[in-house]
A = this chain, B = another copy of it.
Amino acid sequence: MSYKDGYTVAVLGATGAVGRAMLETLERRDFPVRELRALASPKSAGQQLTYKGETVTVEAVSEASFKGVDIALFSAGATTSLEWAPKAVEQGAVVIDNSSAYRMTDGVPLVVPEVNPHAAKAHKGIIANPNCSTIQLMVALSPLRSIGLEHVTVSTYQAVSGMGQKAIDALKREVENGDTEGTLFPVASGTNHYPMAFNVLPQCDVFVEDGYTKEEMKLVNESRKILELKELRVSPTAVRVPVVYGHSESVSVRLNRPVTAAEVRSILAEAPGVVVVDDPLRGLYPHPLMAVGTGDTYVGRIRRDLFDDRTIWMFVVADNLLKGAAWNAVQIAELLITR
């Protein structure tokens, strides 16, 4: 994609939690935007957002919205992506889609720029942004591929912002007013709803098969596609906690040979997108509030399993709206452009 005087960028779902973060990230990373189009459903049209100090008025998405667009960042849910991505591509845009709609589709690259930037080149108009909990896991695991990944286990501590702005608002209401009669957690479509304030819910997204949730199966299937390891074993447990921003993951990884924590720490310290914070005796390790507002993945509590010299445990934290969504999407866009 050649640089003229910048690129025309559309953001579909601009008023959502991730959409707003996309605008912020384009600005923070000084993406060469010639023209910005903030798009959303008709009911959000007319809302005003800010980009580089200027007001941007949200337009209702239509086929005309994508005329002349170079890059379209989508974050408006899978149904919207399935409807609008082909139309945007037809108009000549490259769509970077944050929904799950195309992630496992053959021929659609699923990209974490620190991990598989080469995959982006093979796109046919659509590039998928992985799920939030997968992205940070990939940034932390990919550098260890040189040793050989045998088995990964992950238990997550996921922030409510992964469910969008309405979940952020709902948690705040629960905490402030004790209003726990909401019908949003764990999922709006569920038959049972539970309080999220001061609670932990071992369900993210809906259940799909054999007792696993869709979120858990994303950790398995997306990891395999991104790492290009079709047989990789990932054992997932996805859990929602009363945190607003920032996903945490308790991860074990069994490698193909014995390793020390020091070796893993030194590999990760050199890895792109990783910040090692690991000095427990000084009280230093990652936690969600440390990651908020950044595009990095924080790794700490790096230690060898007490009994298996091939297994390393670590605690992996990132801002789920940034590295887990908007930041990663803008990084993908940067792979497509020249400055």
Write the residues of chain A forming the contact surface with B, with a CB cutoff of 8 angstroms.
151, 153, 155, 157, 175, 186, 190-195, 198-203, 207, 210-213, 220, 233-235, 237, 239, 241-246, 248, 250, 252, 261, 280-289, 300-308, 311, 313, 315, 317
> With A211-B280, A211-B302 given, is the CB distance from A313 to B200 under 8 Å?
no
For the complex formed, measure the closest distance between the CB of A290 and the CB atoms of chain B, giving whole angstroms: 8
CB-based contact B198/A287 at 8 Å? no
Question: CA separation between A220 and B198, bound complex, in Å?
Answer: 27
Query: In the complex, what residues of B have CB within 8 A of residue A155's CB?
Result: 155, 237, 250
Indicate which residue in B157, B211, B244, B261 contacts A301 across the interface (CB closer than 8 Å). Answer: B211
> With A235-B311, A283-B191 given, is the CB distance from A157 to B241 under 8 Å?
yes
CB-based contact A237/B250 at 8 Å? yes
> With A248-B200, A250-B155 given, is the CB distance from A233 to B280 under 8 Å?
no
Q: Please tell me how many copies of the chain the complex holds.
A: 2
Indicate which residue in B153, B192, B220, B252 contacts A283 across the interface (CB closer than 8 Å). Answer: B192
Closest residue of chain B to A301 (Cβ to Cβ) is: B202
Question: CA separation between A299 and B46, bound complex, in Å?
Answer: 49
For the complex formed, measure the closest distance between the CB of A234 and the CB atoms of chain B, giving whole angstroms: 8
> With A155-B250, A192-B282, A283-B190 given, is the CB distance from A198 to B301 under 8 Å?
no
CB-based contact A239/B250 at 8 Å? yes
CB-based contact B311/A261 at 8 Å? no
Indicate which residue in B186, B212, B241 contacts A242 across the interface (CB closer than 8 Å). Answer: B241
CB-based contact A192/B284 at 8 Å? yes
Query: In the complex, what residues of B have CB within 8 A of residue A239's CB?
Result: 157, 248, 250, 315
